[in-house]
Structure 1
Amino acid sequence: MQPMMHKLSDWLPTTNKEVKLRGWEELDVILFSGDAYVDHPAFGPAVIGRILESYGLKVAIVPQPSVHDNLQDFTKMGIPKLFFAVTGGCMDPMVSNYTASKRKRDHDAYTPNGDKGFRPDYATTVYTNILKDKFPEVPVLIGGIEASLRRVTHYDYWSDTLKPTILKDSKADLLVYGMGEQPLREIVNLLQKGVPFSSLRTVKQTAFLLNKDEEIPKNKNWKDVTINSHEVCLKDKKAYASNFKVIEQESNKLFADRVFQDVGNTKLVINPPYETMTEAEIDASFDLPFTRLPHPKYNSRGPIPAFEMIKFSINIHRGCFGGCSFCTISAHQGKFIASRSQESILKEVDKVANMPDFKGYLSDIGGPSANMYKMKGKVQEICDRCVSPSCISPVICHNLDTSHKPLTELYKAVDSHPKIKKSFIGSGIRHDLLVPEFNKLADPKELDAYTEEVMTNHVSGRLKVAPEHTSDNVLKLMRKPSFTYFHKFKERFDKINIRKRLNLQLIPYFISSHPACELEDMANLAAETKDMGFQLEQVQGFTPTPMTVATVIYYSGYHPYTLKPMKTPRTKTEREEQHRFFFWYKKENQQWIRNTLTKVGRNDLLQKLLPDSNNWRKNKGNKAKDTFDETVPFSSRKKKKFNKSKKR
């Protein structure tokens, strides 16, 4: 295959001049996006544009329209025949614009040169309101991660408020949640048959608002469930928490119920999701004619960081059956894995290998979790009845086929391409699936074969995994396995490392300030990981994002499945203190750690973290009690008591 030379018309048009280049007089759909336009299958707006194009529509994209001038970006392309489409981009704009501590980020990975300020807060709502103000009669369809996760009453961390469905504030006509290929196909099919946009009320995987006096659309194949109204949620946090169990279960069932929620004088209707995409369906999405490059309009503005990171990567599946309490993947992509065929993947590998600047190295062959490819239920009827949000917590489901053989074979097929020097696994690997003591029904030899294949041929010095915490109480709430299994995995990693003389590093990811996490849990985490030889780098503070169990607990104080009260670090001081234990090795934190652990009587942990503390106390004497590092105030000066940590 020869490298392709592209012309401007190979991208979806972004200006009227580019529309004319295609010989079009009018457009069917105009798509507004919070991201710069990168025509690549890893960028949702590009996928949606290409999907609509594949249905025979004339589509243009307006990336990062300006909301600070006369708003000409919203009018320059005219009025579409069918509808406007709006997405905030590949990330929720609030996550893109702010850190976990609510500080403005100094860059935007989806903008040329990483420049900030090109994506407004709550972009989907901002864009849609502008369109509705200027073109009130033209339907607006919203989708993408922001719309998907905000489709029902949700807690917004950045404003510290409980917000109604995004349909209310945005005034959009219809919302597509999850991956958009299947609902868009039906929407376009109905519109092309002459069905009015206002009558699109029974399309799966969509949501909309009805006035109270409007008749509820009928579908004899669906059952209905009603959750607490938005107004009740505003008054009663426990009622809000109880909603989430229904929302999460219905989002992850293969045959779900339709969900109703009253919002003021309207009723929110969330239709059930589609079944998991078939191999042929997901292949068709990835086989669309992407240029795999940013639009040429950005050539003089600098590289787009998010694109540079995935430029030579391959996405092999969607979905994640982990169901982690802090993660939004299953809420958007679902828990059932949709895997591409090996043929489709190898076709994409060939395209990448023939890019002019490709040097022979694939940066990633992965997905939301790298090692879930081709994994599914052994008996489909069991999966059809399942309501569990996770297939591997608290234990691995007996019906889940966790064979890593197809993935090992795929890696070898990729590496056999003559232009591939090495393919890396950059996505996170579920290490617990590779531990026979946890994955009890798997063939240990097969798990070892996969682990050895990855370590030997697909790691560049460091293998990243995500145990997330060391406390069993926190891990149970996270829907993650005991830290014991990380120890087991590290033992296997170390044996292979020594036997193969690989000199690899194991890099674990951890989270602080998660619900149920106490300050002492973080001290234990620091001590235990230090004892294992780690000086932690890959760490983050818990960020409450809509549509997760952990966020519901953070806001309400109740677990949505048990409705029992749960503690969570909420204040800025608590969160900063917890995070500080990650960096016990930094001099500026050590005096604070000494005072903190001495005050709560945990000299055992103090000796593990800072063994010279006995000498420190002798030198400082009683003065140490009054010496605090004020960089981060210590909220526990009110004689806060801790439970003794349980021995493993």
Structure 2
Amino acid sequence: MTDFLPMTREDMAKRGWERLDFLFISGDAYVDHPSFGPAIISRLLEKYGYKVGIIAQPDWRSTNDFKRLGKPRLGVLVSAGNLDSMLNKYTAAKKYRSTDNYSPGGQSGLRPERATIVYCNRIRELWKTIPLVIGGIEASLRRFAHYDYWSDSVRRSILIDSRADLLIYGMGEKQIKDLSAQLSAGISVDNIRDIAGTCYRTETLEHLWDYTETPSYQDVANSKQDFAEAFKTQYLEQDPIRGKTIVQNHGEQYVVQNPPAMPLSTQEMDEIYDLPYQRTYHPSYIQAGGIPAIQEVKFGIVSHRGCYGSCSFCALYAHQGRIIQSRSKESILQEANQLVKLPDFKGYIHDVGGPTANFRQPACEHQAERGTCRGKQCLFPSACKSLNTNHSEYLELLRAIRKIPGIKKVFVRSGLRYDYLLAANDREFLRELCEHHVSGQLKVAPEHVSPKVTKLMGKAGKDTYLKFKKAYEQTNKDLGKEQYLVPYFMSSHPGAGLKEAVELAEFLRDTGYNPEQVQDFIPSPGSLSTCMYYTGINPLTGEKVYVAKSPHDKRLQRALLQYRDPKNYELVHEALISAGRPDLIGYEPRCLIRPRQNKQYDTSSGPAEKSGKQRRLTPARGKPVKKQTRRS
């Protein structure tokens, strides 16, 4: 039957169902599209012959909404949605977000904080012994004891607080296939302990023989050094081939993480994306204005998963993994032909990519047998000599999609690693990218320019960005195109103080770029940068790391990146004085801001006192005081 999966009893009756096999509780509205995890898992279960119903964004204030489809036969699956529910609800400044792109009409407030835990507690009120399984990014990245930015505390594993039986981490397709088969065979959920890519609770470790144990929840909650040690172990073992079982004590119980699930084969990827998705939101949301999140992905194509870029602030390594998993060219072309037939398709494919668009193939041939290299990165600090930098297959794919009748333009909008493209030295790819796949602007993410910060980020340095910028601009000039490079920068990342923020501001001045948006670093669960933020330690090296934590320090850094904005003048002025850079306050072209009205500053003055007291700066002698004019 080709239709949306049931959300009501009436939907079940149309299919002739009296009882579900699995009930899926989702913190997002129901969007039947392969960019939404609940849709993928539910469609897979449907393919395997199970009856699946969805309750999206239930009213969590009572159990009434949770039981409207009845008690399922095999189990309840719970996901907070495509985003961590706290990240979905709060900004970096811990202020409420006014909109929620995964809710009808963008309305906020339709899901609770810590949605996975809240939903599970309601299910346990209803059905105390039913198999309860959690997954999605919120569960995946909170599977161990973790730092929670919004409460500024170390929290227990979400598996403990939710009282779920199993936690599926990662993308989940292999896990849900094995789990559903075992439950259907009558195996008790308490005895399902052998599925890769899952975590479970246990009171004893007698059944384990080869594992590594990290410091306990109690230890990491009381010691930042222990937290860093635990994170390092978890970080280094996230590989499906060489990774070990990891154990962490939580008082009377242990959380046991089995090694990650094996990467999907090309055939398995194709089967997932060829399922009968409706490719839009459920019609019950039409009156509310639909689901805004669909707009970015409806006419885009996921070509692969995984990322070996390993940016420190991204937790993708712990969710999708570092080994690339690609769809076949045939499957992607089939999806492109499906998009052409949609009634609202205007001829534009918005994206063909993944977490990193030009990572279409595994980093090297060794990964299939040995897994990823322990403690080493493929691109940082420089490209590994074994790295496969060939872009020809991706280029052929883009060419093939361009030839499909009805397609006017194919854009590449997902992240593109320019350091990887430079390592390939593929001028043909860059030329065709600029000629056919850029919509006036190409967005890239250097994130910072200070060597101290980019090293901690795991990102290429300033010189690499400038080299790519030059090549990009020259290529567009040769093509006769006026297209721009839009770099994203991040403020307040661990390691970035005022000195580093000033360094970035000077870079923006010298390159003539005025960022409209600046992303403050958000310590989301599970990332290497979040560990550095909480502990002040780089867990991989043991080195101490400076962290800007006070809201005011963060505002100063952000203001420096947008120093041209008149609203930021006082903050920029304070930041420059505090950083010992009054030489950047003046009338020379190199200055970031003008002096305050009726006052000039002696730029020969040294840095402010370490105690935080600012030196008094007097007007320079022998120069007339000019009228204040702020730069725009």
TM over 0.5: yes
Contact persistence 1:252–1:330 (CA under 8 A): no
Pair 385,569 (structure 1): closer, same or farther in 2 beyond 3 Å? closer
Contact persistence 2:499–2:579 (CA under 8 A): no
1:573-592 matches, cutoff 5 A? 573-592=552-571
The yes-or-no answer on 1:472 pairing with 2:451 is: yes
Residue number in structure 1 paired with 2:478: 499
Alignment partner of 2:41 out of 22, 44, 48: 48
Cα deviation digits, residues 575-604 of structure 1 (max 9, x gap): 111111111111122344245324544245
Whole-angstrom distance in 2 between the partners of 1:35 and 1:276 = 26
Residue number in structure 2 paired with 1:602: 581
Compare 384-393 and 471-480 and name the one that shifted more.
384-393
Residue number in structure 2 paired with 1:150: 142
Pair 73,13 (structure 1): closer, same or farther in 2 beyond 3 Å? same
SS of match in other structure, 2:207: coil
Cα deviation digits, residues 409-428 of structure 1 (max 9, x gap): 00000001001000111112
Contact persistence 1:97–1:121 (CA under 8 A): yes
The yes-or-no answer on 1:64 pairing with 2:57 is: yes
Residue number in structure 1 paired with 2:622: none
The yes-or-no answer on 1:421 pairing with 2:414 is: no
Letter in 2 for 1:432: D
The yes-or-no answer on 1:197 pairing with 2:189 is: yes
Whole-angstrom distance in 2 between the partners of 1:366 and 1:399 = 23
Cα deviation digits, residues 232-282 of structure 1 (max 9, x gap): 111111001111111111113522100011101101100011221110111
Contact persistence 1:32–1:87 (CA under 8 A): yes
Pair 89,614 (structure 1): closer, same or farther in 2 beyond 3 Å? closer
Residue number in structure 2 paired with 1:645: none
Alignment partner of 2:31 out of 16, 38, 63: 38
Residue number in structure 2 paired with 1:628: none
1:95-110 matches, cutoff 5 A? 95-110=87-102
Letter in 1 for 2:36: F
1:340-489 matches, cutoff 5 A? 340-380=327-367, 383-384=370-371, 386-388=373-375, 390-435=377-422, 439=423, 442=424, 444=425, 447-489=426-468
Query: 1:71: how far off?
Result: 2.9
Alignment partner of 1:19 out of 12, 16, 29: 12
Residue number in structure 1 paired with 2:112: 120
Whole-angstrom distance in 1 between the partners of 2:578 and 2:113 = 42
Whole-angstrom distance in 2 between the partners of 1:356 and 1:385 = 43
RMSD of aligned residue pairs (Cα, Å): 2.2
Compare 447-456 and 286-295 and name the one that shifted more.
447-456
Query: 1:73: how far off?
Result: 1.0
Cα deviation digits, residues 286-329 of structure 1 (max 9, x gap): 11110101111111110211101211111111111011110011
Letter in 2 for 1:468: E
Pair 326,622 (structure 1): closer, same or farther in 2 beyond 3 Å? closer
Whole-angstrom distance in 1 between the partners of 2:587 and 2:75 = 62
Compare 383-392 and 263-272 and name the one that shifted more.
383-392
Whole-angstrom distance in 1 between the partners of 2:186 and 2:283 = 37
Pair 599,473 (structure 1): closer, same or farther in 2 beyond 3 Å? closer
Cα deviation digits, residues 25-81 of structure 1 (max 9, x gap): 11100000000000000001111111111111000010000113x431111111111
SS of match in other structure, 2:55: strand
Residue number in structure 2 paired with 1:260: 247
Residue number in structure 2 paired with 1:330: 317
1:553-564 matches, cutoff 5 A? 553-564=532-543
Query: 1:185: how far off?
Result: 1.0
Contact persistence 2:323–2:367 (CA under 8 A): no
Alignment partner of 1:232 out of 215, 219, 238: 219
- Give the number of equivalent residue pairs: 611
Query: 1:483: how far off?
Result: 1.2
Whole-angstrom distance in 1 between the partners of 2:167 and 2:543 = 33
Pair 449,613 (structure 1): closer, same or farther in 2 beyond 3 Å? closer
Contact persistence 1:323–1:389 (CA under 8 A): no
1:269-280 matches, cutoff 5 A? 269-280=256-267
Whole-angstrom distance in 1 between the partners of 2:535 and 2:578 = 31
Letter in 2 for 1:366: G
Letter in 1 for 2:40: V
Residue number in structure 1 paired with 2:21: 28
Cα deviation digits, residues 145-184 of structure 1 (max 9, x gap): 0000000010000011100100111100100000110111
Contact persistence 2:559–2:571 (CA under 8 A): no
Query: 1:193: how far off?
Result: 2.4
Residue number in structure 2 paired with 1:302: 289
Pair 391,254 (structure 1): closer, same or farther in 2 beyond 3 Å? farther
Pair 475,193 (structure 1): closer, same or farther in 2 beyond 3 Å? same
SS of match in other structure, 2:431: helix
Letter in 2 for 1:54: K
Whole-angstrom distance in 1 between the partners of 2:573 and 2:554 = 18
Contact persistence 1:497–1:504 (CA under 8 A): yes
Whole-angstrom distance in 1 between the partners of 2:263 and 2:550 = 40
Letter in 2 for 1:499: D
TM-score, with structure 2 as normaliser: 0.93
Query: 1:537: how far off?
Result: 2.1
The yes-or-no answer on 1:490 pairing with 2:469 is: yes
Whole-angstrom distance in 2 between the partners of 1:407 and 1:381 = 20
TM-score, with structure 1 as normaliser: 0.91
Whole-angstrom distance in 2 between the partners of 1:320 and 1:448 = 23
Whole-angstrom distance in 1 between the partners of 2:372 and 2:112 = 42
Alignment partner of 2:487 out of 493, 502, 508: 508
Residue number in structure 2 paired with 1:184: 176
Pair 203,613 (structure 1): closer, same or farther in 2 beyond 3 Å? closer
Whole-angstrom distance in 2 between the partners of 1:290 and 1:74 = 24
Residue number in structure 2 paired with 1:3: none
Contact persistence 1:507–1:538 (CA under 8 A): no
Letter in 2 for 1:31: F
Pair 612,198 (structure 1): closer, same or farther in 2 beyond 3 Å? closer
1:542-561 matches, cutoff 5 A? 542-561=521-540
Whole-angstrom distance in 2 between the partners of 1:367 and 1:83 = 31
The yes-or-no answer on 1:174 pairing with 2:161 is: no
Contact persistence 1:328–1:547 (CA under 8 A): yes
Contact persistence 1:508–1:538 (CA under 8 A): no
Pair 364,148 (structure 1): closer, same or farther in 2 beyond 3 Å? same
1:612-631 matches, cutoff 5 A? 616=595, 619-621=598-600
Alignment partner of 1:162 out of 151, 154, 174: 154
Pair 639,247 (structure 1): closer, same or farther in 2 beyond 3 Å? farther
Whole-angstrom distance in 2 between the partners of 1:291 and 1:381 = 34
Whole-angstrom distance in 1 between the partners of 2:435 and 2:105 = 35
Query: 1:194: how far off?
Result: 2.4
Pair 608,354 (structure 1): closer, same or farther in 2 beyond 3 Å? farther
Cα deviation digits, residues 213-234 of structure 1 (max 9, x gap): x45435x7xx310000001111
